[in-house]
Amino acid sequence: DTGVSQNPRHKITKRGQNVTFRCDPISEHNRLYWYRQTLGQGPEFLTYFQNEAQLEKSRLLSDRFSAERPKGSFSTLEIQRTEQGDSAMYLCASSLRTHEAFFGQGTRLTVV
């Protein structure tokens, strides 16, 4: 068990470009979460999958954000037409039960 893996660890992009992040959860974990964390703040919930179904989306997730989890395994989070305000750490977590979430190390996005 290698834990939750996120790639890339760091991403620098120009404003207006699209970016995609990947999360590989712990195998057999059927629940997967995406959070966003900005400096000095706690993680903010973005979206949640149970298997391949996206069951919840935060109002923080604008139309420029899309997440998928094909086949209920890895997940991707895409941000289209990035803005400077999208700069943050994007965290992925997985769990088998709702109260034991394991986090990856995150992808730090910097939009210049």
Minimum CB separation of residue 95 from other proteins in Å reads 9
Q: Kindly tell me which of 10 and 15 has the beta carbon lying closer to other proteins.
A: 10
**End-to-end CA gap in the chain:** 36
| Count of alpha carbons within 13 angstroms of residue 52, beta-carbon side | 4
Instruction: Determine which residue in the list 68, 78, 83, 100 makes contact with other proteins, applying CB under 8 A.
Output: 100
Q: Shortest CA distance to 72 belongs to which of 48, 43, 56, 101?
A: 48
- Choose the stretch contacting other proteins; rule: CB under 8 A; options: 20-28, 62-70, 72-80, 91-99: 91-99
Binding mask 32-71 for other proteins (x = CB under 8 A): -x-x----xxxxxx--x-x----xx---------------
> 46, 61 in Cβ contact below 8 A?
yes
**Per rule CB under 8 A, is residue 74 in the interface with other proteins?**
no
Minimum CB separation of residue 15 from other proteins in Å reads 25
**Per rule CB under 8 A, is residue 91 in the interface with other proteins?**
yes
Other C-beta atoms within 10 Å of 92: how many?
A: 28
- What residues pair up with 24 in beta bridges, in sequence order? 5
